[in-house]
Amino acid sequence: MTTVHRPAASPAATATPARTTTRSLLACVAVASPLWAAVALTQAATRDGFDITRHPLSALSNGSLGWLQITNFVVAGILLTLGATGLRRALHGTAGSTWAPRLVRIAGLGMIAAGIFVMDPADGFPVGTPYGQPATLTWHSYAHFAAGSVTFTSLIAACYVLGRHFHRAGHRGYTIASRVAGTALLLGNGWAMSGGKAGTLTLAIGAVSALLMVAAVANRYRRGL
């Protein structure tokens, strides 16, 4: 009997499926943030009665079209939660490789919860809602605020951890961008929490900045695979 010797698979060949999976997971993160921002900001610009200087983007979950923002939160959250695994693989062995993916995953779970638990209608939105804040809040509104706090805190921390990662790697541009995005959300959220004028706008700017920064990092490593 003649024995046929098959050549061993090269390391590059055997690694291809793993790289493909990692690229797909990173794509989830890269897509989640701009998708969420685009859907939310489009609604903010087009839905009757919504004023981004007075209403948080979360308020879009109310009304007859509220399902759009609810779905937006849940889909983006799922993509971030799944994609965090790709970020962990891409950052493996580097500064921030443990906590950056964990924080992104926590932020994703927070977004899912923020979609499930809808805040109360307030301050004239949706149209027909009395102006001002409700006298009392429902339990799901409290749950939404808690989910938002978890999401914002995780995103702020993730940006600073990524800033440390890029600082160690010697990438000055990404270092600065990560820290600026984290600071934008930190200050924007703080201003909104203090009741500052147009606080909902500063919060929206900070949240979008932090989310897009995470997306940019994921896309950077996805292209490198």
Whether 61 is covered by a domain: the verdict is yes
Whether 65 is covered by a domain: the verdict is yes
Residue 15 pLDDT: 56
Domain carrying residue 29? 21-120+147-224
Count of structural domains within the chain? 1
Q: What's the chain's average pLDDT?
A: 93
| pLDDT band (50, 70, 90) for residue 12 | very low
DSSP annotation string for 69-81 = HHHHHHHHHHHHH
Whether 203 is covered by a domain: the verdict is yes
Residue 14 pLDDT: 46
pLDDT tens digit sequence for 147-163: 999 999 999 999 999 99
Whether 11 is covered by a domain: the verdict is no
Whether 176 is covered by a domain: the verdict is yes
| 126 upstream amide cis, omega within 30 of 0 | yes
pLDDT tens digit sequence for 76-121: 999 999 999 999 999 999 999 999 999 999 999 999 999 999 999 9
- Residue bearing tokens 């390391």: 11
* Residue 159 contacts residue 213 (beta carbons within 8 Å): yes
* Residue 188 contacts residue 205 (beta carbons within 8 Å): yes
Whether 137 is covered by a domain: the verdict is no
Whether 132 is covered by a domain: the verdict is no
pTM summary value: 0.91
Asked whether the predicted pLDDT for residue 135 surpasses 80, the reply is yes
